[in-house]
Amino acid sequence: MADVLIERAFDAPRAMVFAAWTNPEMLVRWFAPTGCTIHFEKIDPRTGGEFHSCIRTPVGPDCWVRGTYLEILPPERLVMTMALADASGQRLQADAAGKDPEWPDETTVTVTFAEEGNGTRMTLHQNAPESVARRTGAYGSWLDMFDRLAEDLAAVPA
């Protein structure tokens, strides 16, 4: 089974695209699908740091996630775990969180940033089956969030 692999070009410098993943003030503007909001109970974007967040949707239950930043190498690479959780930060199995039971209890997300002309080529790899990610909407959520990221980067003064 193939993992999730998404590439996206951004018309913004690599350092700015990387910062959008590690600056909490930027992250809250795009790191949730359209119509949803994200709230961080905790965010410590450094190697070994942790996060605990909640994506709120107008049509459905909140989605709590926690994770650990395994590697932050500005402006080249970011590696983090993501696991379903509850509001207190306790990890949950997918079915206990109301998600597809085939979704992994924890995934590792690796994001790389490469200069491409005057912009950036960002590549995301998540060790979750792409077929399950497409079926559950997780894949589409990444694409939607990257559209929001592109809009946010375009609104930042150069």
- Short-list 135, 125, 60, CA closest to 102: 135
Asked whether the bond before 61 is cis by omega within 30 degrees of 0, the reply is no
Q: What is the pLDDT of residues 85-118, one digit of tens each?
A: 999 999 998 888 878 889 998 999 999 999 999 9
Residue-level pLDDT at 158: 62
Q: Where residue 152 falls among pLDDT bands split at 50, 70, 90?
A: very high
In angstroms, rounded to a whole number, what is the distance separating the alpha carbons of residues 74 and 105?
28
- Short-list 84, 108, 113, 107, CA closest to 97: 84
Burial status of residue 54 (CB atoms within 10 A of its CB: 0-12, 13-18, 19 or more): middle
Q: What value does the mean pLDDT take over residues 71-94?
A: 96
Fold of the domain spanning 3-155: Alpha-D-Glucose-1,6-Bisphosphate; Chain A, domain 4 (3.30.530)
Q: Which residue has the tokens 């490469």?
A: 114
**pTM of structure:** 0.95
At 93, phi and psi to the nearest 5? -75, 155
In angstroms, rounded to a whole number, what is the distance separating the alpha carbons of residues 57 and 14?
30
Q: What value does the mean pLDDT take over residues 7-35?
A: 97
- Tokens representing residue 49 in the block: 């740091």
In angstroms, rounded to a whole number, what is the distance separating the alpha carbons of residues 66 and 27?
15
Which range has the worst mean pLDDT, 28-32, 110-114, 140-144, 154-158?
Answer: 154-158
Q: What value does the mean pLDDT take over residues 136-153?
A: 97
In angstroms, rounded to a whole number, what is the distance separating the alpha carbons of residues 7 and 124?
6
What is the overall mean pLDDT for the chain?
Answer: 95
